[in-house]
Amino acid sequence: MAAQEVPKTCKVIMADTIAKKMLAEVKETLLGIQGPDAGKPTLVAFLANDDPAAGQYADWSKKTCEEK
């Protein structure tokens, strides 16, 4: 009996691919709104609960904002 080929029904998309496009869009938008000589924008966030996962997400968001 010959093996049947399984059809590909999904596509793997890496988060980094999506993140790079989104960060480039944010940078471009800020340059358009503020101009090249503007200061850094301020990001303010509030945690809605004490969930450790929410805290970790906030830490990752902070780190990304500081890097970019």
**Digit-coded pLDDT (tens) for 4-61:** 787 778 888 899 989 899 989 988 888 888 877 877 778 888 998 999 999 999 999 8
Predicted TM-score (pTM) of the model is: 0.54
Q: Which residues contact 48 (CB under 8 A, 6 or more apart)?
A: 54
Amino acid of residue 57: Y
Structure tokens at 41: 């924008």
Integer Cα distance of 25 and 29 in angstroms: 6
**Eight-state DSSP code of residue 48:** S
Q: Which residues contact 62 (CB under 8 A, 6 or more apart)?
A: 43, 45
